[in-house]
Structure 1
Amino acid sequence: MLKKFRPFSRFAKDEHGLISVETVIIFPILLWALAAMFVFFDAFKAQNTNVKATYTIADLISRTSDPINDDFIDGMDNVFEQLVSSDQAANIRVSVVGQRLAPNGTDTERFLVWSQATGTMIAHTDVEAIEPMIPMMATGDQLIFVESTMLWTPVMSFGLSEMTLTNVAFTSPRFVPQVVFNASASGGDGGDGGLGGGRY
Protein backbone atom coordinates (compact mmCIF):
# COMPACT_ATOMS: atom_id res chain seq x y z
CA MET A 1 0.00 0.00 0.00
CA LEU A 2 2.93 2.31 0.72
CA LYS A 3 4.00 1.94 -2.90
CA LYS A 4 1.01 4.06 -3.89
CA PHE A 5 2.47 7.04 -2.01
CA ARG A 6 6.02 6.75 -3.30
CA PRO A 7 5.40 8.94 -6.40
CA PHE A 8 4.07 11.68 -4.14
CA SER A 9 7.06 11.31 -1.84
CA ARG A 10 9.47 11.59 -4.77
CA PHE A 11 7.58 14.63 -6.05
CA ALA A 12 7.78 16.33 -2.65
CA LYS A 13 11.53 15.74 -2.46
CA ASP A 14 12.21 16.77 -6.06
CA GLU A 15 13.91 20.21 -6.17
CA HIS A 16 14.27 20.51 -9.93
CA GLY A 17 13.02 23.89 -11.21
CA LEU A 18 12.81 25.35 -7.70
CA ILE A 19 15.00 28.36 -8.57
CA SER A 20 12.90 29.12 -11.64
CA VAL A 21 9.72 29.13 -9.58
CA GLU A 22 11.24 31.39 -6.92
CA THR A 23 12.51 33.75 -9.62
CA VAL A 24 9.06 34.03 -11.18
CA ILE A 25 7.58 34.93 -7.79
CA ILE A 26 10.31 37.21 -6.43
CA PHE A 27 11.50 39.06 -9.55
CA PRO A 28 8.32 41.17 -10.08
CA ILE A 29 8.32 42.14 -6.40
CA LEU A 30 12.01 43.02 -6.53
CA LEU A 31 11.50 45.04 -9.72
CA TRP A 32 8.59 46.96 -8.15
CA ALA A 33 10.67 47.70 -5.02
CA LEU A 34 13.60 49.01 -7.06
CA ALA A 35 11.31 51.23 -9.15
CA ALA A 36 9.58 52.58 -6.03
CA MET A 37 12.94 53.34 -4.37
CA PHE A 38 14.07 55.19 -7.49
CA VAL A 39 10.90 57.32 -7.52
CA PHE A 40 11.17 58.16 -3.81
CA PHE A 41 14.87 58.97 -4.17
CA ASP A 42 14.11 61.27 -7.10
CA ALA A 43 11.42 63.05 -5.06
CA PHE A 44 13.77 63.63 -2.11
CA LYS A 45 16.50 64.77 -4.49
CA ALA A 46 14.15 67.27 -6.15
CA GLN A 47 13.01 68.59 -2.76
CA ASN A 48 16.59 68.94 -1.54
CA THR A 49 17.61 70.77 -4.72
CA ASN A 50 14.57 73.03 -4.38
CA VAL A 51 15.52 73.97 -0.81
CA LYS A 52 19.10 74.80 -1.78
CA ALA A 53 17.98 76.83 -4.80
CA THR A 54 15.54 78.83 -2.67
CA TYR A 55 18.24 79.71 -0.13
CA THR A 56 20.60 80.60 -2.99
CA ILE A 57 18.09 83.08 -4.44
CA ALA A 58 17.54 84.61 -1.01
CA ASP A 59 21.29 84.95 -0.51
CA LEU A 60 21.79 86.56 -3.93
CA ILE A 61 19.09 89.13 -3.23
CA SER A 62 20.52 89.85 0.24
CA ARG A 63 23.84 90.84 -1.35
CA THR A 64 22.21 93.42 -3.63
CA SER A 65 22.92 97.03 -2.68
CA ASP A 66 21.22 98.76 -5.63
CA PRO A 67 17.44 99.00 -6.06
CA ILE A 68 15.97 96.04 -7.94
CA ASN A 69 13.13 95.88 -10.46
CA ASP A 70 10.94 93.49 -12.45
CA ASP A 71 13.81 92.41 -14.67
CA PHE A 72 15.90 91.52 -11.63
CA ILE A 73 13.11 89.35 -10.20
CA ASP A 74 12.64 87.67 -13.58
CA GLY A 75 16.38 87.04 -13.68
CA MET A 76 16.24 85.43 -10.24
CA ASP A 77 13.39 83.25 -11.47
CA ASN A 78 15.54 82.14 -14.42
CA VAL A 79 18.43 81.38 -12.05
CA PHE A 80 16.10 79.33 -9.87
CA GLU A 81 14.90 77.30 -12.85
CA GLN A 82 18.50 76.63 -13.86
CA LEU A 83 19.42 75.54 -10.33
CA VAL A 84 16.56 73.07 -10.01
CA SER A 85 17.14 71.81 -13.59
CA SER A 86 13.47 71.16 -14.14
CA ASP A 87 11.38 71.29 -17.30
CA GLN A 88 8.31 71.71 -15.10
CA ALA A 89 6.81 75.01 -13.95
CA ALA A 90 8.97 76.72 -11.30
CA ASN A 91 8.23 80.15 -9.82
CA ILE A 92 9.38 82.39 -6.98
CA ARG A 93 7.84 85.10 -4.83
CA VAL A 94 10.09 87.67 -3.18
CA SER A 95 8.83 89.81 -0.31
CA VAL A 96 10.47 92.18 2.14
CA VAL A 97 8.96 92.45 5.61
CA GLY A 98 9.88 94.81 8.43
CA GLN A 99 9.17 95.46 12.08
CA ARG A 100 8.34 98.84 13.57
CA LEU A 101 6.72 100.44 16.57
CA ALA A 102 2.94 100.25 16.60
CA PRO A 103 0.92 103.49 16.68
CA ASN A 104 0.55 103.17 20.47
CA GLY A 105 4.31 103.66 20.78
CA THR A 106 4.92 100.62 22.99
CA ASP A 107 4.06 97.50 20.96
CA THR A 108 5.69 96.40 17.72
CA GLU A 109 4.12 95.29 14.47
CA ARG A 110 5.27 93.53 11.30
CA PHE A 111 4.50 95.07 7.93
CA LEU A 112 4.98 94.25 4.26
CA VAL A 113 7.42 96.59 2.51
CA TRP A 114 6.98 95.10 -0.98
CA SER A 115 6.25 91.83 -2.71
CA GLN A 116 6.80 90.53 -6.24
CA ALA A 117 5.97 87.18 -7.83
CA THR A 118 6.65 85.35 -11.08
CA GLY A 119 4.58 82.99 -13.15
CA THR A 120 1.37 81.79 -11.53
CA MET A 121 2.31 82.96 -8.04
CA ILE A 122 0.59 86.10 -6.73
CA ALA A 123 2.38 88.83 -4.79
CA HIS A 124 1.37 89.34 -1.16
CA THR A 125 -0.71 92.41 -0.39
CA ASP A 126 -0.23 92.30 3.38
CA VAL A 127 1.90 90.55 5.97
CA GLU A 128 -0.86 88.40 7.48
CA ALA A 129 -0.34 85.45 5.12
CA ILE A 130 3.33 85.03 6.05
CA GLU A 131 3.47 86.48 9.56
CA PRO A 132 3.29 83.06 11.30
CA MET A 133 6.49 82.07 9.45
CA ILE A 134 8.46 85.23 10.22
CA PRO A 135 11.22 84.65 12.80
CA MET A 136 12.01 87.02 15.64
CA MET A 137 13.07 90.47 14.46
CA ALA A 138 14.43 93.62 16.06
CA THR A 139 12.50 96.85 15.68
CA GLY A 140 13.71 98.65 12.57
CA ASP A 141 15.01 95.49 10.89
CA GLN A 142 13.85 94.08 7.57
CA LEU A 143 13.92 90.53 6.24
CA ILE A 144 13.91 89.15 2.71
CA PHE A 145 11.36 86.37 2.37
CA VAL A 146 11.69 84.09 -0.68
CA GLU A 147 9.06 81.47 -1.53
CA SER A 148 9.44 78.95 -4.33
CA THR A 149 7.19 76.42 -6.00
CA MET A 150 8.09 73.71 -8.46
CA LEU A 151 5.90 71.09 -10.08
CA TRP A 152 7.43 67.62 -9.70
CA THR A 153 6.25 64.71 -11.83
CA PRO A 154 7.46 61.16 -11.07
CA VAL A 155 9.14 59.33 -13.92
CA MET A 156 7.09 56.24 -13.03
CA SER A 157 3.79 55.79 -11.23
CA PHE A 158 5.04 53.93 -8.16
CA GLY A 159 3.70 55.20 -4.83
CA LEU A 160 3.92 58.94 -5.56
CA SER A 161 1.83 61.16 -7.79
CA GLU A 162 2.54 64.59 -9.26
CA MET A 163 3.06 67.20 -6.53
CA THR A 164 4.06 70.82 -6.03
CA LEU A 165 7.24 71.33 -4.00
CA THR A 166 7.07 74.50 -1.90
CA ASN A 167 9.88 76.04 0.14
CA VAL A 168 10.62 79.28 1.96
CA ALA A 169 13.82 81.06 3.00
CA PHE A 170 14.47 84.11 5.17
CA THR A 171 17.58 86.25 5.21
CA SER A 172 18.62 89.78 6.16
CA PRO A 173 20.07 92.37 3.77
CA ARG A 174 23.86 92.14 4.02
CA PHE A 175 25.19 95.47 2.81
CA VAL A 176 22.24 97.88 3.03
CA PRO A 177 19.49 98.49 5.62
CA GLN A 178 16.81 97.46 3.12
CA VAL A 179 16.48 96.05 -0.39
CA VAL A 180 14.54 98.64 -2.37
CA PHE A 181 12.26 97.69 -5.24
CA ASN A 182 11.62 100.11 -8.11
CA ALA A 183 8.03 99.22 -8.84
CA SER A 184 6.29 99.72 -12.16
CA ALA A 185 3.87 102.57 -12.69
CA SER A 186 1.05 100.52 -11.15
CA GLY A 187 2.89 99.91 -7.88
CA GLY A 188 4.37 101.89 -5.02
CA ASP A 189 7.93 102.96 -4.46
CA GLY A 190 9.03 99.67 -2.94
CA GLY A 191 10.48 101.34 0.14
CA ASP A 192 9.09 101.78 3.62
CA GLY A 193 6.32 103.95 2.29
CA GLY A 194 4.82 101.72 -0.39
CA LEU A 195 4.24 98.26 -1.75
CA GLY A 196 5.56 96.89 -4.99
CA GLY A 197 2.80 95.34 -7.04
CA GLY A 198 2.86 91.72 -8.14
CA ARG A 199 2.94 90.61 -11.75
CA TYR A 200 0.04 88.32 -12.59
Structure 2
Amino acid sequence: MSETRTGRALHAIRTRGARFARDAHGVAAIEFALIAPIMVLMLLGATFYFDATRDRARVERAAYVIADSVGRKQTVDTTFLDLMNSLALNVAKSNDTPEIRVTSVSRVSLLELKVDWSYPTGTFAALKSSDIPALGYPVSIPVGGSAIIAETRATYTPTFAMFGVSKRTHTGVSFARPRLVGMISKTN
Protein backbone atom coordinates (compact mmCIF):
# COMPACT_ATOMS: atom_id res chain seq x y z
CA MET A 1 0.00 0.00 0.00
CA SER A 2 2.82 2.30 0.77
CA GLU A 3 4.35 1.69 -2.66
CA THR A 4 1.03 2.59 -4.27
CA ARG A 5 0.88 5.86 -2.37
CA THR A 6 4.48 6.62 -3.22
CA GLY A 7 3.85 5.68 -6.83
CA ARG A 8 0.77 7.92 -6.97
CA ALA A 9 2.65 10.74 -5.29
CA LEU A 10 5.54 10.45 -7.77
CA HIS A 11 3.09 10.25 -10.65
CA ALA A 12 1.30 13.38 -9.36
CA ILE A 13 4.61 15.25 -9.02
CA ARG A 14 5.68 14.26 -12.52
CA THR A 15 2.31 15.19 -13.96
CA ARG A 16 2.23 18.54 -12.20
CA GLY A 17 5.87 19.23 -13.10
CA ALA A 18 5.19 18.44 -16.75
CA ARG A 19 2.04 20.59 -16.68
CA PHE A 20 4.03 23.43 -15.06
CA ALA A 21 6.74 23.18 -17.73
CA ARG A 22 4.14 23.35 -20.51
CA ASP A 23 2.16 26.18 -18.88
CA ALA A 24 2.65 29.52 -20.69
CA HIS A 25 0.55 31.65 -18.35
CA GLY A 26 2.55 34.64 -17.04
CA VAL A 27 5.37 34.37 -19.59
CA ALA A 28 4.36 37.65 -21.23
CA ALA A 29 4.35 39.41 -17.87
CA ILE A 30 7.84 38.15 -17.08
CA GLU A 31 9.13 39.14 -20.53
CA PHE A 32 7.58 42.59 -20.10
CA ALA A 33 9.18 42.97 -16.67
CA LEU A 34 12.58 42.16 -18.18
CA ILE A 35 12.25 44.29 -21.33
CA ALA A 36 10.29 47.35 -20.04
CA PRO A 37 13.16 49.05 -18.14
CA ILE A 38 15.42 48.77 -21.18
CA MET A 39 12.73 50.18 -23.46
CA VAL A 40 12.05 53.10 -21.07
CA LEU A 41 15.78 53.93 -20.95
CA MET A 42 15.94 53.83 -24.74
CA LEU A 43 12.93 56.13 -24.99
CA LEU A 44 14.43 58.61 -22.51
CA GLY A 45 17.77 58.51 -24.33
CA ALA A 46 16.12 59.15 -27.70
CA THR A 47 14.12 62.02 -26.19
CA PHE A 48 17.27 63.57 -24.74
CA TYR A 49 19.16 63.20 -28.03
CA PHE A 50 16.32 64.70 -30.07
CA ASP A 51 15.82 67.58 -27.64
CA ALA A 52 19.55 68.43 -27.51
CA THR A 53 19.93 68.23 -31.29
CA ARG A 54 16.87 70.42 -31.85
CA ASP A 55 18.14 72.99 -29.34
CA ARG A 56 21.57 73.11 -31.00
CA ALA A 57 20.01 73.51 -34.46
CA ARG A 58 17.83 76.38 -33.24
CA VAL A 59 20.81 78.21 -31.74
CA GLU A 60 22.70 77.78 -35.03
CA ARG A 61 19.65 78.96 -37.00
CA ALA A 62 19.43 82.08 -34.82
CA ALA A 63 23.04 82.97 -35.72
CA TYR A 64 22.26 82.52 -39.42
CA VAL A 65 19.11 84.66 -39.28
CA ILE A 66 20.92 87.45 -37.41
CA ALA A 67 23.88 87.49 -39.82
CA ASP A 68 21.52 87.48 -42.81
CA SER A 69 19.34 90.27 -41.36
CA VAL A 70 22.32 92.50 -40.52
CA GLY A 71 23.89 91.78 -43.91
CA ARG A 72 20.84 93.29 -45.62
CA LYS A 73 21.26 96.67 -43.87
CA GLN A 74 23.42 99.67 -44.74
CA THR A 75 23.70 100.89 -41.17
CA VAL A 76 22.66 99.40 -37.84
CA ASP A 77 22.08 100.95 -34.44
CA THR A 78 21.71 99.64 -30.91
CA THR A 79 17.92 99.51 -31.24
CA PHE A 80 18.17 97.25 -34.31
CA LEU A 81 20.74 95.02 -32.61
CA ASP A 82 18.52 94.77 -29.52
CA LEU A 83 15.82 93.61 -31.91
CA MET A 84 18.23 90.95 -33.18
CA ASN A 85 18.68 89.82 -29.58
CA SER A 86 14.88 89.45 -29.29
CA LEU A 87 14.89 87.61 -32.61
CA ALA A 88 17.49 85.18 -31.23
CA LEU A 89 15.22 84.56 -28.26
CA ASN A 90 12.30 83.71 -30.55
CA VAL A 91 14.26 81.63 -33.06
CA ALA A 92 16.36 79.68 -30.55
CA LYS A 93 13.42 78.89 -28.24
CA SER A 94 16.03 77.56 -25.84
CA ASN A 95 15.30 76.81 -22.21
CA ASP A 96 17.92 79.49 -21.48
CA THR A 97 18.11 83.10 -22.67
CA PRO A 98 20.44 83.10 -25.66
CA GLU A 99 23.31 85.56 -25.89
CA ILE A 100 24.49 87.13 -29.12
CA ARG A 101 27.56 88.93 -30.41
CA VAL A 102 27.37 90.67 -33.77
CA THR A 103 30.65 91.93 -35.18
CA SER A 104 31.68 93.72 -38.35
CA VAL A 105 35.15 92.67 -39.51
CA SER A 106 37.15 94.11 -42.41
CA ARG A 107 40.37 92.97 -44.06
CA VAL A 108 43.07 95.64 -43.93
CA SER A 109 45.78 93.53 -45.60
CA LEU A 110 46.31 89.90 -46.55
CA LEU A 111 47.33 89.04 -43.00
CA GLU A 112 45.34 91.55 -40.95
CA LEU A 113 41.68 91.60 -39.98
CA LYS A 114 40.21 94.56 -38.12
CA VAL A 115 37.08 94.71 -35.97
CA ASP A 116 35.04 97.73 -37.07
CA TRP A 117 32.40 97.33 -34.34
CA SER A 118 31.11 94.62 -32.04
CA TYR A 119 27.81 94.32 -30.18
CA PRO A 120 27.76 91.74 -27.34
CA THR A 121 24.97 90.69 -24.97
CA GLY A 122 25.08 88.60 -21.81
CA THR A 123 28.50 87.24 -20.92
CA PHE A 124 29.92 87.77 -24.42
CA ALA A 125 32.68 90.38 -24.53
CA ALA A 126 33.06 92.75 -27.45
CA LEU A 127 35.31 91.14 -30.06
CA LYS A 128 38.71 92.80 -30.51
CA SER A 129 40.97 92.58 -33.55
CA SER A 130 43.51 90.61 -31.52
CA ASP A 131 40.84 87.98 -30.67
CA ILE A 132 40.06 87.01 -34.28
CA PRO A 133 42.99 84.59 -34.94
CA ALA A 134 42.37 82.74 -31.66
CA LEU A 135 38.75 82.02 -32.63
CA GLY A 136 39.87 80.08 -35.69
CA TYR A 137 36.95 81.21 -37.82
CA PRO A 138 37.48 80.66 -41.55
CA VAL A 139 36.97 84.32 -42.50
CA SER A 140 37.46 84.69 -46.24
CA ILE A 141 37.33 88.39 -47.02
CA PRO A 142 39.13 90.16 -49.87
CA VAL A 143 41.41 93.08 -48.98
CA GLY A 144 39.19 96.13 -48.47
CA GLY A 145 36.09 93.98 -47.94
CA SER A 146 34.10 93.29 -44.80
CA ALA A 147 31.91 90.61 -43.26
CA ILE A 148 29.43 90.24 -40.44
CA ILE A 149 30.08 87.55 -37.82
CA ALA A 150 27.00 86.61 -35.79
CA GLU A 151 27.56 84.36 -32.78
CA THR A 152 24.87 82.91 -30.55
CA ARG A 153 25.20 80.92 -27.37
CA ALA A 154 22.66 79.28 -25.05
CA THR A 155 22.91 76.79 -22.22
CA TYR A 156 20.96 73.59 -22.75
CA THR A 157 19.56 71.86 -19.68
CA PRO A 158 18.36 68.31 -20.43
CA THR A 159 14.87 67.34 -19.35
CA PHE A 160 16.14 64.00 -18.07
CA ALA A 161 19.57 64.21 -16.44
CA MET A 162 20.63 60.59 -16.84
CA PHE A 163 23.97 58.85 -17.15
CA GLY A 164 25.81 61.94 -15.92
CA VAL A 165 24.57 64.17 -18.75
CA SER A 166 24.35 67.71 -17.46
CA LYS A 167 24.05 71.22 -18.84
CA ARG A 168 25.93 71.99 -22.01
CA THR A 169 26.44 75.14 -24.03
CA HIS A 170 25.31 75.24 -27.64
CA THR A 171 26.90 77.82 -29.92
CA GLY A 172 26.17 79.01 -33.40
CA VAL A 173 28.35 81.08 -35.73
CA SER A 174 27.37 82.51 -39.09
CA PHE A 175 29.07 84.83 -41.55
CA ALA A 176 27.45 87.19 -44.05
CA ARG A 177 28.82 89.67 -46.54
CA PRO A 178 27.09 93.05 -46.74
CA ARG A 179 24.72 93.09 -49.70
CA LEU A 180 24.14 96.80 -50.25
CA VAL A 181 27.35 98.50 -49.12
CA GLY A 182 31.04 97.65 -48.75
CA MET A 183 30.88 97.83 -44.96
CA ILE A 184 27.92 98.10 -42.60
CA SER A 185 28.38 100.95 -40.18
CA LYS A 186 27.01 101.14 -36.65
CA THR A 187 25.57 104.29 -35.16
CA ASN A 188 25.14 105.06 -31.43
TM above 0.5: yes
**Could you state the TM-score of these two structures normalised by the residue count of structure 1?**
0.79
2:173 to 164, 168, 171: 168
SS at 2:61's partner residue? helix
Partner in structure 2 of residue 19 of structure 1: 28
**Could you state the TM-score of these two structures normalised by the residue count of structure 2?**
0.84
2:120 to 95, 117, 122: 117
- The structure with the largest alpha-carbon Rg is 2
RMSD over equivalenced CA pairs, Å: 2.1
Q: Tell me, which stretches of 5 or more residues in structure 1 are unaligned?
A: 102-106, 184-200
Deviation at 1:108, TM superposition (A): 3.7
Partner in structure 1 of residue 152 of structure 2: 148
Q: What CA distance in whole angstroms lies between the structure 1 residues aligned with 2:138 and 2:36? A: 50
Q: Tell me, which stretches of 5 or more residues in structure 2 are unaligned?
A: 1-6
- Residues 64-143 of structure 1: pairs in structure 2 closer than 5 A: 64-66=73-75, 68-101=76-109, 108-130=111-133, 132-143=136-147
Deviation at 1:38, TM superposition (A): 1.0
Partner in structure 1 of residue 3 of structure 2: none
1:162-186 per-position Cα deviation (integer Å, ceiling 9, x unaligned):
1111110011001011111124xxx
Query: Is the aligned partner of 1:180 residue 2:185?
Result: yes
The one-letter code matched in structure 1 to 2:118 is S
The one-letter code matched in structure 2 to 1:145 is I
The one-letter code matched in structure 1 to 2:179 is R
More helix by share: 2
Deviation at 1:3, TM superposition (A): 5.0
Deviation at 1:18, TM superposition (A): 0.3
Partner in structure 1 of residue 72 of structure 2: 63
Q: What CA distance in whole angstroms lies between the structure 1 residues aligned with 2:185 and 2:138? A: 19
Query: Between Structure 1 and Structure 2, how many residues are aligned?
Result: 177
Deviation at 1:21, TM superposition (A): 0.5
Deviation at 1:127, TM superposition (A): 4.0
SS at 1:88's partner residue? coil
1:21-51 per-position Cα deviation (integer Å, ceiling 9, x unaligned):
1111111211121121111101111111121
Identity among equivalent pairs (%)? 28
Q: What CA distance in whole angstroms lies between the structure 2 residues aligned with 1:5 and 1:141? A: 93
